[in-house]
Amino acid sequence: MLFTPGGQCRPNSIPATLDTDLWIRRGLILLVCLWLSVAVVLPLFQLLSMSLTDDAGNFVGLANFIYYFNTPALSGSLGNSLFVSVVTMSVSVVLGFLYAYGLTRTAIPAKTFFRGAAMMPLFAPTLLNGIALVYLFGRQGLITRGFFGTLPGWDIGLYGPVGIIIAEVIFTFPQAVLILSIALRLSDARLYEASDSLGASKIRTFFRVTLPGVKYGLISAVFICFILAFTDFGAPKVVGGDYNILATDIYKQVIGQQNFVMGAVVSVVLLVPTVIAFLVDRLAQRRQVALIAAKSTPLHPTPTPVRDRLFLAYCLLVVFLILGFFATAVFASLVKVWPYDLSLSLTHYDFERMGGGGYAAFFNSIRMSFYSAVAGTALAFGSAYLVEKSRGMRGLRQGAYFLSMLPLALPGLVIGLAYIFFFNATGWEMFGVRIPNPFNFIYATMGILVLSNVVHFYTVGFLTATTALKQLDREFETVSESMAVPFYRTFFRVTAPVCLPAILEIGMYYFVNSMATVSAVIFLYSADIPLASVAIANMDDAGDIAPACAMSVLIVLTNIGVRILYGILTRSVKAKTERWMAR
């Protein structure tokens, strides 16, 4: 820092301002803080203050919350939400742990395939989880009707907590597998050798070495699964029935009853447990990082026939269920009239007769996801670069880092609702002065949709970029500076090219999630910009479940296509990188 106070020597021959590079960087980090403040902090603030006012906009303190908790019809949803999320989380973490254990600690074959197949649900909107369940366990479901009467039927009572929990388990399972495989892979082989040599039994080793080793991964998986299930909107919308939960309540309050204040109140009720879970998860992750810092010897599982066969059977079963689940959806979308006329046709893919926007909505979604991917990747990577690779300016950098973590704690519905309140406001009265809203122009445009996605998925992109940047030599910037090369040239010539794999990954993540998300955008889309995921929700509302299913399948196919494209691009980038490495 050039302007640290103190010191008797302040040579005046050269003003410090000549360090233009430093000032550009400072300005940019300030911009990062500024845009995150406008896109995250201010809308959130607007939402919070909305929850403390009455319909006329007068401040009423906690009156709304007192009313909420004194009205069982409303507050019952909190218990329901907690119940389904805790059950989902328990089931998901147990299933995910076994699966991840199979992938990392046993000698089963085809691990790449198993890893990929488990990730399938990540490409689908959660609405599809609900729709596929309807086709399996709904009133006319494949299993409810015993495969169209060939077997005895089984009605599991889908609509309500059962359906929500199954859908959310499918939704959260890949996340649990991802987090737990990373944790399980990091374990130190020497600990196991030590345990073996001390004559500990397998079971003792599992409880004394394996579980403590993945403690933080487990904590993280527990809280991430909880947050995902607690805040998801898509699946409960389809299979929730009369079982009220917070996410669907917000939607009903805002869209159904136009009660924005109560919508804001429920949002805050949803937000509080989410933020707590988020903080616990952050804490756990920080500990996990400290755990890896020590050098360790990677563990190579040795074949153990009985164990390996058991895990292979388990993994096959899981993959069969996941693929069967999505196959049902694809099949249902192609069937003429489920369950009466099972001949195949593409009628449901002809959305012309349907509400929701049809192919226009689908292509809007693609456009929106593409813009979100480009803008989000640029912002996430650029901000991570400025925060990670600047010297000095500690306060600013920490501020930018904190703001960048914030979006991860915000459910999509909360972002969507906060954006309505903030961007739709024409202005604010402050100390008797009217300030017009300079951001109002973005309301009901493609811009606000893209912005909501950029913010919604920002933190994961930011963290991916930070991890990649941390692997670069800290002195690249210093060396360039000493040679009087401006930082942006080094950024474009060295930093960005070397981080290209991470940049592609962030882009893919943005695209796939923007395609599938419904929660934030359902409040923000306008009639002239319909979206595919919103169309699914609306068609499902109207009882057009087959076309809704067809639209979901289109989204999944698009996302798989993008994932394949990502794979190809990554491979060609890798080939280039290997050229740098080849001897």
Partner 1 sequence: MAHEQKDRDAYLKVRSITKNFGGITALQEVSFEAGYGEFISVLGPSGCGKTTLLRVIAGLEIQNAGRIFVEDQDMSLFPVSRRSVGIVFQSYALFPNLNVVQNIAYGLKGKMKGSDIQKRVSELLHLVGLDGYGSQFPAQLSGGQQQRVALARAIAPSPKLLLLDEPLSALDAKVRTRLRSEIRRLQRRLGVTTVMVTHDQEEALTMADRILVMDRGFLVQDGTPHDIYDRPATPFVASFIGSMNFIENAVRADAGFYRVGDHRLQVHGDNGASGLGEGSRVVLAIRPEDVMIGPNGGTDPNTLNGRVEGMEYRGPVFRVGFRLALGDGRDIRIESEVPTEKIRRLAVREAMEVPVRFPTDRLRVYAA
**Binding footprint of partner 1 on the chain (CB under 8 A):** 1-2, 4, 6-11, 13-14, 16, 18-19, 21-22, 391, 473-476, 478-485, 489, 493-494, 497-498, 577, 579-583
Rounded to a whole number of angstroms, the minimum distance from the CB of residue 391 to partner 1 is 7
- How long is the chain? 583
Strands (E), 332-426: 335-337, 341-344
Euclidean distance between CA atoms 516 and 525, whole angstroms? 14
Q: Phi, psi at residue 144, to the nearest 5°? A: -60, -40
CB of 381 to partner 1, least distance (A): 16
Q: How far is the CB of 295 from partner 1 (least distance, A)?
A: 17
- Please report, in angstroms and rounded to a whole number, the separation of the first and last CA atoms in the chain: 42
Q: How far apart are CA 504 and CA 377, in angstroms?
A: 8
H helix intervals, 123-245: 126-137, 146-149, 161-185, 189-197, 202-205, 211-213, 215-231, 234-239
The tokens for 356 are: 């929701």
Kindly state the tokens that stand for 181. Answer: 């495989």
Instruction: Write down the least CB distance from residue 580 to partner 1, Å.
Output: 4
453 and 480 Cβ atoms separated by less than 8 Å: no
Q: Is 501 within 8 Å of 574 (Cβ atoms)?
A: yes
Minimum CB distance to partner 1 smaller for 9 or for 56 = 9
Q: How far is the CB of 174 from partner 1 (least distance, A)?
A: 33
Smallest distance, partner 1 to C-beta of residue 25, A:
11
Rounded Cα distance between 129 and 126, Å, is 5
23 versus 363: smaller Cβ distance to partner 1 = 23
Beta bridge partners, 178, equal none
Contact 410, 427 (CB under 8 A): no
Min dist. Cβ of residue 374 to partner 1 (A): 22
Cβ of residue 378: shortest distance to partner 1, in angstroms? 20
Distance CA 496, CA 80 (A): 46
Tokens found for residue 466: 């930070």
Tell me: cis bond preceding 501? Omega within 30 of 0 counts: no
Hey, what amino acid is at 405?
A: M
d(CA 213, CA 188): 9
Q: In the numeric block, which tokens belong to residue 175?
A: 């996340």
Which residues, other chains included, contact 561 with Cβ-Cβ below 8 Å and sequence gap of 6+?
Answer: none
State which residue, 202 or 493, has the beta carbon closest to partner 1. Answer: 493
Q: Residue 517 in contact with residue 460, Cβ under 8 Å?
A: no
CB of 492 to partner 1, least distance (A): 11
Instruction: Tell the smallest beta-carbon distance from residue 387 to partner 1 (Å).
Output: 19
Residue placing its CB nearer to partner 1 in the complex, 295 or 579: 579
- As a whole number of angstroms, the distance between CA 343 and CA 514 comes to 33
Q: How far apart are CB 4 and partner 1 at their closest, in Å? A: 7
Q: Is 242 exposed, middle or buried (0-12, 13-18, 19+ CB in 10 A)?
A: exposed
Which residue number, 2 or 317, has a Cβ lying nearer to partner 1? 2
Residues 326, 129: contact at Cβ < 8 Å?
Answer: no
Q: How far is the CB of 576 from partner 1 (least distance, A)?
A: 8
Vertex 265 angle, CA 460 and 85, to 5°: 50
Residue (306 or 484) nearer to partner 1, CB: 484
Report which secondary-structure segment, H or E, holds 428. Answer: strand 427-430
| Rounded Cα distance, 518 and 236, in Å | 12
CB-nearer residue toward partner 1: 19 or 308:
19
What minimum distance in Å lies between the beta carbon of 578 and partner 1? 10
CA-derived radius of gyration, the chain: 26
**Parallel, antiparallel, or unpaired: how do β-strands 335-337 and 341-344 relate?**
antiparallel
Residue 526, Cβ neighbours under 10 Å: how many? 13
Smaller CB separation from partner 1, 18 or 317: 18
- Nearest CB to partner 1, comparing residues 378 and 496: 496
Whichever of 447 and 497 has its CB closer to partner 1, that residue is 497
Residue 523 CA to residue 259 CA, distance in Å, equals 13
Q: How far is the CB of 285 from partner 1 (least distance, A)?
A: 27
The Cα diameter of the chain in Å comes to 93
- Indicate the residue among 212 and 392 with the shorter CB distance to partner 1: 392
